[in-house]
Amino acid sequence: MTDRDVFLPVGAQPTLDALVEQAIAAEELGYDRAWFPESWGRDAVTAITAAAERTDEIGLGTSIVNVYSRSPALLGQTAATLQEATDGRFRLGVGPSGPIVIENWHGMEFGNPLRRTRETIEVVKQVLSGEIVEYDGEYFDLDGFKLRCGAPDPIPPIDAAALGPKAVELVGRFADGWHAVNYTRGGIEDRLEDLERGADLGDRDVDDLRVTLSVGCCALEDAERANDLVAQHIAFYIGGMGTFYRDNLARQGYEDLAHEIHDSWQEDERDHAVELVKAELRDQMGAAGTPADARAQLEQFEEIDAVDAVYVSFPRGATTEEIHETMEALAP
C-alpha cells in the first residue's frame, strides 16, 4: 500500500507554532510522514525538533537539506541527534538544491553537484555507523574522528532528491530512497529505470529503496481557486527557479511547452505561463479541484508502479486555512 505523506511549507507559515500545529494535525489525520523543506526561510532542523516534542507517531524528515551549506560530518551529527529527538522516526533527505539558492543565498560555488551529493551520502553513512570516519574524496578528506555520542539506533535512512538520469542513478547506487519532484505521471517511468540501473551498479535491491513522489495539491470547495493555485505553483518552478525544473520537464516529452512556460515567466508574461500549465500540464503534475476530484487525482499518482509514497505538497499561494482544508480533504 502506498504511504501518504505531507510536505509542510516551513518558510510560508506565519509562526513556527503554526507550522508545528500542522505537523500535529497531520499526525491526527493519519499521514505517514511529515517532510520539512529548507530553502531561505526557517531552518528544517529546528522545525523538526519542535515538531518532535509535540508529536508521538508520525514520521519526520527533511526534504531537503542541501549538501553545500553544512559539512557532511555536521549533517551526520544532525541526523543522529534528530533520530534521538524523534525517538527513531527520522529520515534524512539531502540534495544539491540549485545554483540560485546555493550561490545567491549561501554564497557558495555550485560545483559538481553529483559528486558532492555522493560524497555527502557516503560520509554521513560513515558518521552514523558510529565507527571512525576514514574518507578520501574529491571534496572531503576526513580522518580520525567518530561520533562522540554513539551511533543512533536504528540508523536513520538517507534519501536524496534528484532530477536527471545520472542523478537518479546515483540515488540508486548510494542512497536509501529517492525524492521525485517536478514529475508528470508518465515522465517518472524513465527515471525509475535509472534508479533500478543505479541499484544494480551498487549491487543493491531496488525494492529496498523508498520512492517518494511529490504532488502539488489543493482541495477546496472553490475548484477554480484550487486549480489556479496549483497551476501557479507549477509555473513558478518551471519558469522562475532556474533551468533545472524546465529541463527536467523537457526530458519528460514536454520540451516545447517547458521552454514556452519558462520564457513566458521570464518575460513577465506570467498569466500566459499559468494558462499553459492549466491547459496542458496541471492534471499531469498535480491534484486539484473539489475535495472529491482532488482525491481521485491523487490516487492516480499512488497507482504508479514502484512509487512507495506520495507527499501532498501545497501551492505557494495557499493560505493557512486553504492548506488545512486540503490536508483534511486528502487525509489517508
Domain of residue 33, residue span: 3-329
Query: Coil, helix or strand for 185?
Result: coil
Of residues 199, 139, 200, 190, the one with CA closest to residue 163: 190
Q: What is the CATH number of the domain that holds 176?
A: 3.20.20.30
Domain count for the chain, please give it: 1
- What are the mean pLDDT values of the chain's consecutive 10-residue runs (332 residues total)? 91 86 97 96 96 98 97 98 98 95 96 97 98 98 96 97 97 98 93 97 97 98 98 96 93 97 97 96 96 98 96 93 96 97
Of residues 303, 283, 297, the one with CA closest to residue 330: 297
Q: Model-level pTM?
A: 0.95
The 10 Å CB-count burial string (b at 16+, else e) for 223-261 is bebbbbbbbbbbbbbbbbbeebbbbbbbbbebeebbbbb
pLDDT in tens, 171-184: 999 999 999 999 99
Give me the amino acid identity at 21. E
Of residues 49, 38, 121, the one with CA closest to residue 87: 49
